[in-house]
Amino acid sequence: MEKACYPGSFDPFTRGHLEIIERASCLCSQLTVAVIDNPAKRHLFSLEERKEMLQQGVSHLGNVVIDHFQGLLVDYLKDRQIGVAIRGLRDSSDAPVEMQMARLNRQMSGCETLWLAAEGQFLHISSSFVREIARLGGPYQNWVTPLVAQRMEAKLAQ
Ligand code: PNS
């Protein structure tokens, strides 16, 4: 496969995301990690912060680029001439909404979605639980990269 895109919020980027990016990067010649820029949604980290943490986290992967998009994912993919979106599936509870998105995206533009099954040690990780546990003073550091942990601490200290 030539180009593929891994879209998401990445608020923040976790080791679960990293595992999917590493595996997806082996399946295509160029993987674009596309961070959603949705000004209507309140994120913990700004778009620039989310992109910077990703950039640093994937610096060992030569064929991964970090980008962002606004609006419909399918419009972004069309503009970049990318035909395949990649998403990670943790367990069956992820499936209904992911299938719905995949079908909608395909009906809107013909874009295909490939799912990668997340590895066992990452099944319980989500950005929202990382944010919640960090806010409540729990140990979340093993689920993110050192830079993300550093940025979380700084953000929560503000
Ligand atoms: O990391 P997330 O929050 O699960 O990522 C969800 C994301 C950003 C991939 C999805 O919400 C998305 O593609 N949003 C862009 C708007 C869009 O295309 N909506 C129609 C989806 S069928």
pLDDT in tens, the chain (158 residues): 999 999 999 999 999 999 999 999 999 999 999 999 999 999 999 999 999 999 999 999 999 999 999 999 999 999 999 999 999 999 999 999 999 999 999 999 999 999 999 998 889 999 999 999 999 999 999 999 999 999 999 999 98
Is there a contact between 130 and 144 (Cβ–Cβ < 8 Å)?
yes
Distance in angstroms (rounded) separating the CA atoms of residues 117 and 87:
9
Q: Which of 67, 73, 113 to mutate to test the pocket of ligand 1 (most atoms within 8 A of CB)?
A: 73
d(CA 114, CA 82): 13
What integer pLDDT is reported at residue 122 of this predicted model?
85
Cα R_g (the chain), whole angstroms: 15
- Position 154 scores a pLDDT of 97
Asked whether 101 lines ligand 1 (CB < 6 A), one says yes
Residue 21: predicted pLDDT: 98
Q: Which atom of ligand 1 is nearest to the CA of 36?
A: 8
Residue ranges covered by each domain of the chain: 3-124
Q: How far apart are CA 47 and CA 96, in angstroms?
A: 27
Q: Which atom from ligand 1 is nearest to the alpha carbon of 104?
A: 22
Nearest ligand 1 atom to the CA of 127 is: 1
Distances (CA, A) of 78 to 9, 41, 110, 113, 144: 20, 24, 10, 14, 31
* Spatial CB neighbours of 49, under 8 Å, sequence gap ≥ 6: 151
Q: What is the pLDDT of residue 120?
A: 86
Ligand 1 center from residue 68 Cα (angstroms): 12
Residue nearest to atom 22 of ligand 1 (CA): 101
**Residue 28 tokens, joined:** 């295509």
Between 3.40.50.10480, 3.40.309.10, 3.40.50.620, 3.30.2000.10, what CATH number should domain 3-124 receive? 3.40.50.620
The residue to which tokens 């970090």 are assigned: 66
Instruction: Pick from 5, 9, 84 the residue to mutate for probing ligand 1's pocket: most ligand atoms within 8 Å of its CB.
Output: 9
CA distance 49 to 54: 9
